[in-house]
Amino acid sequence: MAEFKEISPNASAVDKVENWFHNRFPFAFDFYRDHMSAYYAPKNFNFWYFFGSLSLLVLVIQIVTGIFLVMHYKPDAGMAFASVEYIMRDVPWGWLVRYMHSTGASAFFVVVYLHMYRGLIYGSYRKPRELVWVFGCAIFLLLMGEAFFGYLLPWGQMSYWGAQVIVNLFAAIPFIGPDLALLIRGDYVVSDATLNRFFSFHVIAIPLVLLGLVAAHILALHDVGSNNPDGVEIKGPKAPKDENGKPLDGIPFHPYYTVHDIFGVAVFLMVFSAIIFFAPEMGGYFLEFNNFIPADPLKTPPHIAPVWYFTPYYSMLRATTDVMIDVLCVIAALGALLAVWKVRMPGMAKVAVVVFALVAIGLLKVFDAKFWGVVVMGASTMILFALPWLDRSPAKSIRYRPTWHKWMYGVFVVNFIVLGYLGIQPPSDLGTIVAQAGTLYYFGFFLLMPWWSQLGTFKPVPERITYAAH
């Protein structure tokens, strides 16, 4: 048991109250000191570092607004749509809470995508932060699950048919697919049982796990220290420190970065509020127009597409056609031939490469394109977990890599946006070809990273971080 901290009888009432709490709950004060006032962060954070705290802010907004929505929402197939309309029309300020929640869902993915991209360009997934990145990717997957389960709850046309299409994808998995789809739906079609399942996961199961992972993500980050735009460690054994052991290139998170983040929060809230009050549907991207029509199992919308933050992966799924499978078979065959011909390796290794290529081609042709589309869609997110071990660059930060590396990352972003746009549009021959090329670039970017990330002339990385006011 910790010793009681004595205080002068002449101390102010505020100091006495603080001392009373400190003696009875010292862990809270130690936690605040370790993770705020005594946590030293690099002094060269720029605007890219707003998005971590903004992600936490949007999470709080979603939880708070979700609590108020659950007070009036009814997870019943016959009453769900009407309960949403009741929230919008009759509950005082219900329209505001609902629009905050729906806009918050899209805002969540905006800030999380930007947060992940910052980690990508500054190498925040590199040693010693591999576990921080893995926790972050797990949070991203849970967010996708949370958004998918919540997508059905309004019980509108796009909610119903979008869930029908996505759940049916699981039926393409060999052997266990039909039973798995039945387990997810709870019925042979999307019905009241599906709505109750999705409601339970959206409101209870996933948020609990999500909060645990967010805590693990932050604690793991504070254990190893934050990265910075230079990719230079400020807390390592070789990092410069003052006579008290404090990093010379760091500043306390509080009050410096709390004030820094308040500025980012203010700008974000202005944009967030403008969307809520003036364009909550965002032209049909945040709230689809078909979702203002009650779900009708007998009337299929002419074009079914998921919400914008799923569309890059949906586009990859649609791009995986029989022609795409044939192209992948040719790539596997050419890759094996090139490895055997050009790469110096023992004879048995060459045989292993050829056998592996033949097995891969056989598997690609045995299962149909729909199954491989599901695999591609899943692999497009799972491959992010491997990023710390794929990047072999001598420099963490994009600042000190060759200029053409920046173009690689720039093309990757444009490609991702194009895939997202194509996923919203109805299928077309030209769109399918573009999506197939985009899918190959997406996977090539990661799978070839151990090779291309080492190429080029790298700039010398400074021993201490550089700082420019912004």
Binding residues: 101, 115, 202, 217, 222
Residue 460 C-beta-side C-alpha neighbours within 13 Å? 3
Residues of each annotated binding site for a ubiquinone: 222
- Residues 381 and 148 sit within 8 Å (Cβ to Cβ): no
Core vs surface per residue 233-251: b (16+ CB within 10 A) or e? bbbeeebeeeeeeebebbb
Phi, psi of 349 (to 5 degrees): -65, -40
Phi, psi of 250 (to 5 degrees): -120, 160
The residue behind tokens 């266990």 is 176
- Residues 125 and 119 sit within 8 Å (Cβ to Cβ): yes
The CA distance from 403 to 453, in Å, is 12
Burial class of residue 291 (count of CB atoms within 10 Å of its CB; 0-12, 13-18, 19+): buried
Burial class of residue 253 (count of CB atoms within 10 Å of its CB; 0-12, 13-18, 19+): buried
Amino acid (1-letter code) at residue 132: V
Reference 388, options 52, 143, 137, 47; nearest CA is 137
Cα–Cα distances in Å, from 131 out to 218, 223, 232, 258, 385? Answer: 11, 11, 18, 25, 10
Tell me whether strands 40-42 and 250-252 are parallel, antiparallel or unpaired.
antiparallel
- Residues 421 and 191 sit within 8 Å (Cβ to Cβ): no
Report the number of secondary-structure helices (H) and strands (E) in the chain: 19, 2
Amino acid (1-letter code) at residue 109: F
The CA distance from 378 to 145, in Å, is 12
Tokens coding 370: 């729909």
Reference 247, options 258, 256, 238; nearest CA is 238
Burial class of residue 23 (count of CB atoms within 10 Å of its CB; 0-12, 13-18, 19+): middle
Residues of each annotated binding site for heme b: 101, 115, 202, 217
The helix (run of H) or strand (run of E) holding residue 424 is: helix 403-424
